[in-house]
Structure 1
Amino acid sequence: MQAEFHLHSESATPEGAPGTHRPGGRTARNREAVLDAALATLAEVGYADTCVQDIATRAGVAPSTIYRRWGNRDGIILDLALTLVAEPVAALPDTGDLETDLAALAHAIVEVMQSPRIGLVQSILFAAAVQTPTARQTLNTIITRRVEDTKGIAERAVARGELPADTDPARVINTLAAPIYHRWFITGETPDTDDLTRFAKVATLAARHGLLS
């Protein structure tokens, strides 16, 4: 049985992503079909065995269409990853307290990792990144994008005077997320609520003590 995944056409298109130079009409439909096909193929056979021919067949387009717009398989996967990352997950928490906000963000990260689309793609890229530089680069791109999208939590804490002025907001988010990813991908555990609360407290204390400047 073939896995079925569908990207929504209303999802934001990442600026500068491969294959997005002629939005609208048939081009938009072809792009969505190709990304759907890439996601389903990744789910079935993994990163290493995903190829342009299989994606093209599944999407009902000519391989030349893919080569012309994405260049190669990795261009498709990058576009897919950035499209999924561009989908809003939830509004950034804003309770007026950094630790509380980080705990809420930690729960949101786990929810994303459990999702059948971006969670699946991240898991596949993590597995492939050990041996494949292009997979590592794509993984780094989507993680960097996620950090950029969520570092406003720490920026607000700096603005409130809760953190030192020279705090690096990206380091705050990375300090929170690192043990979550370690549990998920290295030890194979799903962090529970106590874990996520602890990770948020550690990141908050480190930031407040000037260790994340």
Structure 2
Amino acid sequence: MAGAPLAVAMAAGGALVALALILPATNAFRFAGPGRYAYPALPAEAALCALGLYVAIRHQLARRVLGSAYGVVALAVIVAGAAGGSPPAQPGPQAPPDGSRVAASGADGSLRGFSITIDSVALDPAQKAMWFHVTVENSGPDEAEWSPAPAVSTGSQVAHGDYSKSTPLPGDVDSGQKLTGWLFVQLDPHLMHRGEAVRLRFAGVAVNGYAAVGDVLIDVNVDPLLQ
């Protein structure tokens, strides 16, 4: 089939473009994380992959089966994403409950003029969680991008920030802009021990028009909160 490479390439490109547009809506994303500008390159990569497979696979029947299978799977993923998807997350309290035990921190990390400071930490035993109050400031010349849902780890636990329950901070921070708010993390304080630091990893922070991309790591001492 002379038109098979073009058909497979178009199917690959169309599927990935549609999926990239559908995922944020079906998963109730409230912000677009760093790296989203790479999305336009994905259809081209998929098309090149499809053309490469077509050249590598010489048997006509195998080519047709592969192309048909890819088209069916891609269509199924798109339909499933549009019809199902995750239900919209219900907004959480966006701040620790009244009466929470809170301790000042001051731990911070930065990347080329973009800084994140953990002002204070609060325990939320009822939800088996912790809250981190952050101040984010961009003193660089251009817009910066970050993820307000960090990966958090201790010596015995690993968790991720829950954006739907946190203060809805934007993922884009303009030059000179400062943001503050609470980040909710499902990290059970009952399982923590004194002397065990909490590490927050803000992955893929991008500054100065993506001239620099890296992780911001912050180690927080929570001993004052632990009995």
Query: Which TM-score applies when normalising by structure 2?
Result: 0.24
More helix by share: 1
More strand by share: 2
Query: Which TM-score applies when normalising by structure 1?
Result: 0.25
